[in-house]
Amino acid sequence: MTAAEEKLRDRIRHTRQAITSIACAHNRQDTEIQLLAVSKTQAADQLRSAFNFGQIAFGENYLQEALDKQQELSDLDIEWHFIGPIQSNKTRDISAHFSWVHSVDRLKIAKRLNEQRPAGLPPLNICLQVNIDHETSKSGVAPEDIMKLVDEVAALPKLNLRGLMAIPAPKACFDEEFETFKRVRDIMQKIPTMDTLSIGMSADMEAAIAAGSTIVRVGTAIFGKREAKTHR
């Protein structure tokens, strides 16, 4: 094993240990919390190594970059999650090549993903992205508009509406992070059919798990600091 592979193995191990220990501290079962390795900008061989260390689910933000890696890694049974902003001309490939999409924030995109989901594949797992801090710069449906979108998306047969995703604005401390994530969870709990809360990244994973996260999306803590992005 190369030194780089050892480092990656240790980072995955530490991240899993952190999830277990945070879950324990907040009266949660670590088995309820899935680790999604966010692999944007990482080369395919990094994902291959991570897979060999037991990491099954990977999150990608940029479609073309993801499709290239999927081709290179087609011998591995990876669970692919799309987590980036979605332009409507990208929905066909997203719907055909991913198991999960976390970043649906409008009906038009949901309808296209539904229509374009290939026959023979199970329904596409969907999280609706909530713009929980009302940031103008950020994608996501406003909290006050979520219920309408939930009803509309729930009616689409080839989508399986699983839950909510959010990327809060940076906060100064744990309590503020927790309070924000808690607002996302409170919305989710009004929707009994939902079982998924996609919140928490490398820097705010603890507050997210304390607030009820079921999928943490972790990049930096697993792969190290990212180079500037090269794909769009």
Among 38, 63, 110, 150, interactor with ligand PLP by CB under 6 A: 38
- The C-alpha atoms of residue 130 and residue 105 are separated, in whole angstroms, by 7
Q: Which is nearer to ligand PLP, 116 or 202 (CB)?
A: 202
Distance in Å, CB of 116 to ligand PLP, minimum: 22
Q: Which of 46, 49, 61, 95 binds ligand PLP (CB under 6 A)?
A: 61
Q: Which is nearer to ligand PLP, 110 or 221 (CB)?
A: 221
Contact letters for ligand PLP, residues 99-138 (x by CB under 6 A): ----------------------------------------
The DSSP annotation for 151-188 comes to HHHHT-TTEEEEEEEE-PPP-SSHHHHHHHHHHHHHHH
Interactions with ligand PLP, residue window 192-221 (CB under 6 A): 201-203, 217-221
- Closer residue to ligand PLP, CB minimum distance, 73 or 201: 201
3-class DSSP assignment, residue 232 = coil
Residue 36 zone, left/alpha/beta (φ > 0; ψ -120 to 50; rest): beta
Asked if 83 and 106 count as a contact pair (C-beta separation under 8 A), the reply is no
Number of residues that bind ligand PLP (CB under 6 A): 13
Q: Report CA 37 to chain centroid distance, whole Å.
A: 9
Candidate list 23, 83, 126, 128; residue touching ligand PLP; CB under 6 A: 83
Please, which residue, 194 or 216, has the CB nearer to ligand PLP?
Answer: 216
DSSP, collapsed to helix, strand or coil, labels residue 43 as: coil
Distances in Å between the Cα of 78 and the Cα atoms of 21, 100, 133, 180, 193 are: 26, 12, 32, 31, 26
Residue 11 binds to ligand PLP (criterion: CB under 6 A): no
Q: Taking CB under 6 A as the criterion, which residues in 155-184 touch ligand PLP?
A: 167
> By C-alpha distance, which of 200, 202, 197 is closest to 214?
197
Q: Which residues bind ligand PLP (CB under 6 A)?
A: 38, 40, 61, 83, 167, 201-203, 217-221
